Amino acid sequence: MSISVIVPVYNEQPNVALLYLQLMKVFRTIGHKYEFLFVDDGSCDGTYDELRALADMDHHVRVVRLRRNYGQTAALQAGFDHARGDVWVTLDGDLQNDPADIPRMLEKLEEGFDLVHGWRKVRQDGWLLRLLPSRVANWLISHVTKFPVHDLGCTLKVMRREIAQELQLVGEMHRFIPILAHQRGARCAEIVTQHHARLFGKSKYGLGRTPRVLLDLITVKFLSDYIASPMKCFGQIGLAFGAMGLLSLVAACVMKLWGRVDLTGNPLLLLSVVASMVGIHFVSLGLLGEVNARIYFNDRRKSYTVARRIRCRRVQRSRQDGQFRQNAVSRAA
């Protein structure tokens, strides 16, 4: 088994060499082939120079440099595109993840799991700006997606290559990797990992990412439940508004016939018109979504994934022998 350690870094010059030493201390005794793939996400300090020096010194180190800062999701996707190992490990480059946890995660992976993600149970971060928003977000994500997880923000993960290659990381979906893998049928496990306080540099995250996390959660929920049939989402909303419009129209007509109420100033008539238009709009969105879904899956994609194929060797050998005899008879004739 070969292992690729994917490390996205952005302006982490003081941490690069220390992280490399920690990784070497672990992988010298791990007993597997390995590579360290650093993805420089457009750093503007001396991070790239440090990485280039490491690559010149050690053939286990590979560096991918992006033209500008694209964000952690794009950096991880670049690492996925260039990794060559059978098992992929992802971790942050700020020394807050501990590489010493990797052997335990590999052992957990070998129990039959496809992805093992870390849980920073004891975090060394500020309570108000980091811990509280993170716990609220993790609770909300776990409740909405029905995926049991304590810490989606932990970058330290170990996953099999075939699972990671099926993931499509766009936007800021890197924090939803376990959920995306679970949707593809992967067996996921979570174990407690160590977390250290940042020694150098400053964090790239703050409260400003909270709205983006909520929007990404809506996207993940929609893709997990309605990617193959968006009409079930938009159609239900359209029918609800259509029913509202119909009831409002009936109520307005009853008030006109029996209550002698003028329809011109009746707000129920306006509500029926607006609700009917909104209902038609959502049904139209559902139809367009169905067309796009069929284009997506027909473009050399499938709505399922195959874990393995099993075939009886005896039957296969019998068919091969029969085909051989048939070809021999044909040649003799």
List, for residues 255-304, the tens digit of each pLDDT value: 888 877 777 778 888 999 999 999 999 999 999 989 988 887 776 555 55
pLDDT in tens, 212-239: 778 888 888 888 888 888 899 899 999 9
Q: Are residues 166 and 269 in the same domain?
A: no
**260: containing domain:** 231-298
Number of structural domains in the chain: 2
- CATH number for the domain harbouring residue 128: 3.90.550.10
Per-residue model confidence (pLDDT) at position 76: 92
For residue 106, tell me if it sits in a domain.
Answer: yes
For residue 318, tell me if it sits in a domain.
Answer: no
For residue 308, tell me if it sits in a domain.
Answer: no
Q: Are residues 39 and 76 in the same domain?
A: yes
Q: Are residues 207 and 239 in the same domain?
A: no
Per-residue model confidence (pLDDT) at position 276: 94
pLDDT in tens, 106-126: 999 999 999 999 988 887 766
For residue 247, tell me if it sits in a domain.
Answer: yes
* 19-23: Cβ within 8 A, 24+ apart: 19/93, 19/95, 19/99, 20/54, 20/58, 20/61, 22/95, 22/98, 22/99, 22/100, 23/99
Per-residue model confidence (pLDDT) at position 213: 78
Q: Are residues 116 and 241 in the same domain?
A: no
Q: Are residues 273 and 252 in the same domain?
A: yes
Q: Are residues 33 and 180 in the same domain?
A: yes
Q: Are residues 199 and 240 in the same domain?
A: no
First-to-last alpha carbon distance for the chain, in angstroms, is 51
pLDDT in tens, 305-327: 566 666 665 545 555 555 545 55
Distances (CA, A) of 143 to 4, 6, 147: 32, 30, 7
317/330 Cα distance (integer angstroms): 20
For residue 315, tell me if it sits in a domain.
Answer: no
The residues near 209 (Cβ < 8 Å, ≥ 6 apart) are: 172
